[in-house]
Structure 1
């Protein structure tokens, strides 16, 4: 059972971008590997705190989503920190399966020297 988070910093204490969102970085709590970065709105932040499972806001779909809702690759929150500017969250998580929608463990698997922009597609 995942535990509810009880943060001292609440949504109103955070600095949001021009769309009212805050970046959330997820990191494997055991290895320190950075797995992904996505955005949260207030609802995603509150759902994450209430459930202990990562929730995000999709800018392209303009909707909430729980990580693993369809894939089963959930992210259980171990801890959360806020940066010194109060504009980015860092979640240490227990990742089930792949974090990336491509099926890779991490979204950060392409060295810039190997990047081929012709292979990119719109998400």
Structure 2
């Protein structure tokens, strides 16, 4: 698309140079102006297409970043629970609660990963 876009810009410049010359036939000037205007509209459409693609990519990156950050937080919670288990002599009931909390966090991570895969598939199609 870049070469095609550059070619259009060069053609627009040529048409503008033609229009700047003195003593041009009014009919020719109007025709060249219309052609230049059409090329400008094509360039604008090309740029809008590129902008949409960039926004789509940014959106995909944002979703991935948000889910990744959430997963990192969940992993830190598990690490903290493991550290508490290893560094203390808690009663069995507290240990079971920490274990159950960790299992819930793991399930949340799995759901987040599944959601990430689904979102990526949406944007890839």
TM-score under structure 2 normalisation?
A: 0.21
By percentage of residues, which structure has more strand? Answer: 1
Select the structure that is richer in helix: 2
Q: Which has the larger radius of gyration?
A: 2
